[in-house]
Structure 1
Amino acid sequence: MDTPPTIVDVDANSIQTEVLERSRSVPVLVDFWATWCAPCKTLGPLLEKLAREHAGRFVLARVDVDRAPELAEAFRIQSVPSVLLVCDGKPIDGFAGAHDEKQLREFLEPHLGQANASNPVEDARAMAQAGCADEGIALLREHLREATDDGAARIALAEMLIDEGREGEARKVVERLTDEQAASAEARAVLARLDLAGAAGDLAELERAVTEAPTDAGARVTYGQALAAAGRNEEGLEQLFEAALLDLHHDGDAPRKALLSVFQALGPTDPLTIEYQQRLSVLLCS
């Protein structure tokens, strides 16, 4: 099921479902605005930014008072911009006029206290899934300034940085893990992903090397690692397994070690890990 949007435009036909009903499960911030209103053009983007940042902890419902004057009348709106916070089907707080970002956060904080106390790792990942990875990364960095020993948050931050192609920053993050934290399966997976990222190269050139020397186990290992680093995990594993078939002990067991590195990056429950672990086990026992 698709996640309901956290920013919606509301009129008389949708006020019941988008505001009154949704407010029974999540706070709904209703922004009454107009196209001709200069302060609205400043306030609106700030509210949208906060809605995206909070990633579902509240809904922003926008009401154009010129298109839905009956709603402005029903909620007794005297001027725009005006903002109402609706919970359990009724307004519980609000303000009129422009507010800066600091004032908006102070307004929201008492009402979203429980939400703000939720898991920062889950919140950051939700932001990334909503297309706001930078905000999620910033949230984890801010959290780690206070909770410097939170290994789970540090690992999650490294994962998100890798996802954004920022491997150098991710390496600095994992360097601050304690020995115990670095020994966890999650940390080992991150370290394996960083190792793979270091193996990235010109795929066309590496493929050509394999084509020109199909029995060169080393060329296949290099190509397979680069494919995995580019996110083409199945193709990468196949090349690495082909290298193992050619010469399992090439260059100090490089094919086997490269396979294990990809397994660690993918995690033990990934279908590709399970499949190629089984194939490698058969090869080792043959």
Structure 2
Amino acid sequence: METTMELTRDNIQQVVELSKQQLVALVFWAEQMPESTALLQTMEQLCATFRGQLQLASVNCETQLELASYFQIRSLPTTLLLSQGQPVDGFAGVQSREQILAILQKHLPAAWELKLNEAKAQLQKGDANAALALLKDAYAEEDSALVALPYAEACLLTGDLATAKTLLATIKLADQDGYYNSLVSQLDLAEKAADTPEIRALQQQLDAQPEDVETLQKLATALHQAHRDEEALELLFTPLSRDLTLGNGAVKQQLLTLLSALGQGNALASQYRRKLYSLLY
């Protein structure tokens, strides 16, 4: 979409439809009024800043008198903001950039909403990893069900069952809709699939021989491969809290490797990294 549209009788319906997708600023101006051309330039700069969120449509009142009359414009310059096909705000005369920005921000989407919308688009494309990064940032700004549910979906798709479970536990009864129930069912299936015969056998073996370091390490690896990372981390950390040299340092090294695999931005990894450092220092 071009930065500035010239509003005419022929494209007015197009502009009205566009306002259902993003905020549209209608600037009524005239060449013979320098203050109105100055305002138009300021609005062009702001629209460039908010590209994709704000569309500028200029109305030259010297050639579009009928449109000026239709919108009942009494003075120039005048700016109207359209959303969902209707005027929602506006101002007459020249305003400073800061004043205009304050008016626009009442109607422009918040940063978290933009990230949420982009994340949903990424989920539809099948790119859960890209969606996950956006949703994590959005959730830090807005921890409502609106963000938590798609965040949980992205976690399920990327195998982070622990975070998905934590997120779903925060959803209040009023927000437990069909989407929520679907995610709960997906989590249940994923947890059952993660409880493999290999894990059960290793757990039984470790229960019978709690000091068997080799079995402990094999079980931690199997849990990690099943995306049960919180259990894997706790399994390794608990004996390390009693003996940092367990397995001649092999258990500590395995824990560090697992933390590295989870990455710096992983909340669970950060938690266990702090716990390990408290033992080391």
- TM-score norm. by structure 2 comes to 0.40
